[in-house]
Homo-oligomer: A and B are copies of this chain.
Amino acid sequence: MATTDAPDAPGTPAAAPAAGAAAGAAERLPLRERKKLRTRQALIDTALELFTERGFDRATLDELCDAVEVSKRTFFRNFASKEDVAMAPTQDLWAAFLSDLETRDPGDETVLEALQASVFAALDGMTDEGWTRRVRLSRRLAAETPSMDAHGLHFCDRTARSAAGLLRHRLRIEDPRDDLRLRLALDFLIAACHYAVDTWVSLPGDPGRSALAAELGSAFAAIPEALALRAGPAASAR
């Protein structure tokens, strides 16, 4: 699964080796693979730059391919769509989330708590140099580009489905009502992540992963509070 990557799945190539300089492991790959990863990373970086500068829809794939000196055909061997290339940084995080979830022991926590722990673990794994910068660019683009937003939402939904399928087996969930609860929990998690990232993206300066972790913490804490929110005169009363 590491040497032979799926020939027809550009969405996320094999076990998405995060961004460019995961120096340790990546350098050991055969030359062919390294080259491929290099063009992939060049496409991501150049795309983020180009789209940010000129706007997602004003920039064409031909320009991007010209800049990276790659044919359009090659672009589509690496990414499923124009939106996909700009989404890559976020997708790395969710891939890590899923792989953490596979091995996590739920102990006697709530499922929701276990999910939150997996998100933090995934975030801890995003050690790549420019990752935060890339995610911030990517999310900013998504915020102003409907089609990117739509594709991002869809990706999150697919991820949630994968996670639900995974947990359904690991936790031996058979009662369909528990399955519904599980899927809702997943959706709650993703909603909270969404707002945490949104807030983090609009923070001034260049906040790092720890700032994102803090935002995630507040958002997770707000989940039970959201159920109790009232419309009374003192809105913040619980």
Contact = CB atoms under 8 A, between A and B. Distances in A.
A181 B106 contact: no
A171 B231 contact: yes
Contact of A111 (B111, B151, B229): B229
A35 to B, nearest CB: 30
Interface in A210-238: 218-219, 222-232, 235-236
Contacts of A231: 106-109, 111, 114, 167, 171
A227 B218 CA distance: 16
A187 B191 contact: yes
Question: How often does this chain occur in the complex, in copies?
Answer: 2
* Chain A interface main SS type: helix
Interface residues of A, number: 50
A184 B235 contact: no
Interface of A: 106-112, 114, 146, 149-151, 153-154, 157, 167, 171-175, 177-178, 180-185, 187-188, 191-192, 194-195, 218-219, 222-232, 235-236
